[in-house]
A and B are shown apart, each in its own frame.
Chain A
Amino acid sequence: MNRSMTAPISAPAQASILLDAMKRDRGGQILLGLLLLVGILVPLLNLGVAEGSALHLSTYAVTLFGKYLCYALLAIAVDLVWGYCGILSLGHTAFFALGGYAIGMYLMRQIGTRGVYGDPILPDFMVFLNWKELPWFWQGMNHFPLAALMVVLVPGLLALVFGWLAFRSRVTGVYLSIITQALTFALLLAFFRNEMGFGGNNGLTDFKELLGVDLKLPGMRIALFLTTVVFLALGYLACRYIVASRFGRVVQAIRDAEGRTRFIGYKVESYKLWIWVFSAMLAGVAGALYVPQVGIINPGEFAPINSIEVVIWVAVGGRGTLYGAVVGAVLVNYAKTYFTAALPEIWLYALGALFVFATLFLPQGVVGLLKSRTGAKA
C-alpha cells in the first residue's frame, strides 16, 4: 500500500496532463499542424520538384526557414521564463551562442586535413596563432555525443551558477535584466579574444561535414531542417507540459506574487533556478541547430542587441502563450529578411517602432489580437 503512494512517476498520469493541455491549446494544435505541413511540403518542394518549376523551393529558402525555426525555439525558451515566471532575460542569446559554439567545435574538428593549413588535429585558426597543441576544452569534441552533451551542459551550467547567485540574493525585475545583459556582453568580449581559443573575431566557420555527411548536400539541408522541425515540436510540447503541470502553476504564482508563494511553502529560488536552467538548455539546443545551417558562429551572436530582439519577438507574438513566441519569431525575422534586403538603413527603426507599437496597441501580441477576433465571432 505504501509502495503505491511513494511510487515515482507514473507515465500515463504525466501523459494525460500533456494531452489535456494540448486539447485546450488551440494555438499549439495549429502550430504542430503547421510544423507537420512544412515538414512534408518543404522536402517535397525542394527535392521533389525540378529546379526550373515555379513550385520549386530553393535550398536558400530551406535554410532560411530552418533559421527562423531555430529562432522560434529560442523565443519559446525566452517566453517560458519571461511569460510564465516573470524573469525578463536580456541575455538569452548567450546560451544560444554557447550551444552553437559547442556544435561548432565539433564541426571544426571534422574538417581535419581539408583545412587551409591541412593540420589533421588543429583547426586553422590555432595553426595561424602558432598553437602547438589542442587546448584541453577542445579534447574529445570530435566525438558527436560529447559535443551534443556540451550543447545542453555548458549553457545549463552557466545558467545554474548565474541563477543560483542571482536568485539566492533575490535579485529581481529590472536589476536581473541588467545583469543578464552584462552576462552576455562579458561573454561577447571574452569570445572576441583570440586567447580564449574559440577563433576570436572570426569565430568558427568553413564547416565541411556533420556525422560524416557533407553539409552542402541538398539532402543534408533538408535533414537539418527536419531535425529543427522535430526539436521545435518537442521543445514546444516539453514547455507546454511544464506550464500545464502543477510546477507551471507554482511558477506563474511566483510571477504574480512571489512573497505569497514563499509563505505557502514553496522554495521560490529553486523553482526559478530550475526553469531558468531548463530554458537556457533549450536555448543551447536552438543554437546548436542554428550553426550547421548558417555555417558560422562568431562572437557577434553574443551581442546584447540580439537578446533584446528575442524579447521583441516574444512581445510581438504574444507573451505567455508559447505559440505566440513562435509566431513573433517567424514574423519579425521574415520582416527583417525583407527589410534588410530592401531598405537596410531603416530596419532598426522599423524594429523599434514595431516594439513600441506592440507594447502600446498589442499588449497580448499578434496572437492576442487573433484570439479576440475569433472570440468576438464565436
Chain B
Amino acid sequence: MSALPAGTGPVGLRIKPTGKRRSTNAPNPDLSHNIILYVEGVTLSFDGFKALNDLSLYIETGELRCIIGPNGAGKTTMMDVITGKTRPDTGSAWFGQSIDLLGLSEPEIAQAGIGRKFQKPTVFGEHSVFENLELAMASDKSVWKVLFAKLKAEQRDRIHEVLGIIGLKDRIHSPAGALSHGQKQWLEIGMLLMQDPLLLLVDEPVAGMTPQETERTAELLVSLAGKHSVVVVEHDMNFVRSIARKVTVLHEGHVLAEGSMDEVQNHPRVKEVYLGE
C-alpha cells in the first residue's frame, strides 16, 4: 500500500463476491459451490485453426489466477468467449451455477458482473477522466434511466475514491486522450473498479508501465483478490511471479498445466513448449 498516493481510501470495491450486488439490477450469480467461472470443453476454430481446443478452466470465488502462455495460445480468445465477443463452436461457459454466459450479449455479461480490461488501453479520449469513470460506474444503464440520470452524492464520492486509488486526482478534468500510456492503463483499471465487477478479467495490465507503476498494479490486484475473483493474462514473468498464487499455462488453446508458479515452472511439458528448454 505504501506506493499508493497519499490520502487514498481503501483499495478495491465494497462488495463481497457472495454478497448482494450494488446498484445494478442484474441477477446475482449463484456462487454456492464457490466457483465463479466455469469454462468447459470450449472449442473455437477460425478457418480450421483451433484457437481454443477443448479448453476447461475453473476459477474459484475470490481467487487471483494468472494465465500465461506463448503467443497464439488462446488467452485473449478465451476472454473474448467469456465476455460475449466471440461465440465458441462447442463447450459451455457459466458464471456461477446459474448464469449461462453463452446466452448473453456483451453488455448483459458486463451488467452481470464481469469486467474486462483490454490489452491495448481503450478509454474514451474526448471524455474527461471523471466522465470516463462516471460512464463505467455500475448503475442502471437502460436508455431512459441514463437520459434522466443525475449523479448522486455517494456516486460522486465513489468516483473521487477511485480517482485516488488510480492516482489521477490532479487529472480529473483532463481529456482521457491526453493521458500518458501508463495513466490510460490506470484509468482503465479505475473504470473496471467503477463497474463493481465480481470477476475481473485483466489482459496484460502492466504492458508499457514503468517499474513503479508495475509495482503499484501488482499491489492493487493482490488487494482486490479475496473480495473479488481476478484473472490476469500477462507476459511479464516477474510480474506474474510477484502476484500469482495459482498459474494456468495455456498452449494451443488447451490447458497445459496448472498449479503454483514453482510447480508450473518445473512441469516437464511447460519447460518444453514455453520456457524453451
Is there an interface contact between B83 and A245, defined as CB atoms closer than 8 Å?
Answer: no
Q: Which of B1-25 contact A (CB under 8 A)?
A: 24
Q: Number of A interface residues at 8 Å Cβ cutoff, please give it.
A: 29
Candidates B24, B110, B118, B143; contact of A274 at CB < 8 Å: B143
A293 within 8 Å of B (CB atoms): no
Main secondary structure of the interface of A (DSSP, over half): helix
Q: Which residue of B lies closest to A16 (CB)?
A: B150
Is there an interface contact between A249 and B127, defined as CB atoms closer than 8 Å?
Answer: yes
> Which residues of chain A have C-beta atoms less than 8 A from B146's C-beta?
245-247, 250, 266
Q: Which of A297-354 contact B (CB under 8 A)?
A: none
Is there an interface contact between A268 and B143, defined as CB atoms closer than 8 Å?
Answer: no
Is there an interface contact between B143 and A264, defined as CB atoms closer than 8 Å?
Answer: no
Q: Which of A14-31 contact B (CB under 8 A)?
A: 14, 17
> Which residues of chain B have C-beta atoms less than 8 A from A10's C-beta?
150
* Distance in Å: Cβ of B121 to nearest Cβ of chain A: 10
Surface stretch bound by A, among B54-62, B133-141, B160-168, B261-269: B133-141
Q: Which of B117-172 contact A (CB under 8 A)?
A: 118, 122-127, 131, 134-136, 138, 141-143, 146-151
Is there an interface contact between B105 and A267, defined as CB atoms closer than 8 Å?
Answer: yes
> Which residues of chain A have C-beta atoms less than 8 A from B195's C-beta?
264-265
Is there an interface contact between B127 and A264, defined as CB atoms closer than 8 Å?
Answer: no
Which 7 residue pairs spanning A and B have beta carbons closest together?
Answer: A265-B110, A247-B147, A262-B106, A13-B150, A9-B148, A246-B149, A265-B111
Residues of B within 8 A of A (CB): 24, 83, 85, 105-107, 110-111, 115-116, 118, 122-127, 131, 134-136, 138, 141-143, 146-151, 191, 195
Residues of A within 8 A of B (CB): 8-10, 13-14, 17, 242, 245-247, 249-250, 252-253, 256-257, 259-268, 270-271, 274
A13-B150, A246-B149, A264-B195 known; 17 new pairs, CB 8 Å cut-off, are A245-B147, A245-B149, A246-B147, A250-B141, A252-B124, A252-B126, A253-B135, A256-B126, A257-B122, A262-B107, A263-B83, A263-B118, A265-B195, A267-B105, A267-B143, A270-B142, A270-B143
